[in-house]
Chains A and B, each alone.
Chain A
Amino acid sequence: EAGVAQSPRYKIIEKRQSVAFWCNPISGHATLYWYQQILGQGPKLLIQFQNNGVVDDSQLPKDRFSAERLKGVDSTLKIQPAKLEDSAVYLCASSTQAGGRGTQYFGPGTRLTVL
């Protein structure tokens, strides 16, 4: 079974530029998550989708971050404009169920460096 795919793996941009990350979840997984992992910290949830609807985006900085999941499969996370503090690894995860007991499967992440 193919895992969660993410691209690009690495990205370096200047502050105030925009950037987009792509995620392809495991086939059949209805729930998709985007996490931000700052160096030395645990992942923090940014947004959770159930199919193509948003379940939780309470920690998404909506003035600069946006995400969509068209057709309930692939998802894109965008940052515009980027700030220095956005430097982090952005992880995508998917699961078969939205409930707390479900196992989340993580992709390898995209490491973003903002200069």
Chain B
Amino acid sequence: AQSVTQLGSHVSVSEGALVLLRCNYSSSVPPYLFWYVQYPNQGLQLLLKYTTGATLVKGINGFEAEFKKSETSFHLTKPSAHMSDAAEYFCAVSDRGSARQLTFGSGTQLTVLP
């Protein structure tokens, strides 16, 4: 079964600093890859996804992620953090070619310091 590992349950950055949230998956066959963001008392919102094609994926709010097959990784980055980026971020994977569901990581809480 697929598994997703998010390194660091809590990450703190200063406003204006680089944001790097790490995600690794377990499958030997590259799955579909997703990043979701969850603000307090709200549902999850899709930031970006990788299904095929270009390995650098751009999403909303200035975030991007790069699929690296050799490292089985899909890390999320943003060049300059904003206070409004403070939220919980979830990496998720889904097997290709089936109706399989999303498997989520345990999440990373991002704090942005003034």
Chain A interface residues (CB < 8 Å from chain B): 4, 33, 40-45, 48, 50, 55-56, 91, 93, 98-101, 103-109
Q: Are A100 and B94 in contact (CB under 8 A)?
A: yes
**Are B98's CB and A106's CB within 8 A?**
no
Residue of A nearest to B46 (CB): A103
Contact B99 A50 (CB under 8 A): yes
* B101 touches A (CB below 8 Å): yes
Q: Is the CB of A45 within 8 A of B102?
A: yes
Instruction: Give which listed residue, B32, B46, B99, contacts A98 with CB less than 8 A.
Output: B99
The 3 closest A-B pairs by CB, nearest first: A42-B104, A100-B94, A106-B43
B residues contacting the other copy or chain, number (CB 8 A): 28
Residues of chain B whose beta carbon lies under 8 Å from any beta carbon of chain A: 4, 9, 31-32, 36, 41-46, 49, 51, 90, 92, 94-102, 104-107
Interface residues of B: mostly helix, strand, loop or mixed? Answer: loop
Contact of A42 among B42, B90, B99 (CB under 8 A): B90
Contact B107 A107 (CB under 8 A): no
Point out the residues of chain B lying under 8 angstroms from A33, CB to CB.
101
Inter-chain contact B106/A41, CB cutoff 8 Å: yes
| Bound Cα distance A91, B49 (Å) | 20
Closest to B50 in A: A101
* Cross-chain contact A106 with B106 (CB below 8 angstroms): no
The smallest beta-carbon distance between A12 and chain B, in angstroms, is: 16
Q: Are B43 and A109 in contact (CB under 8 A)?
A: yes
> Which chain A positions have C-beta within 8 A of B32?
100-101
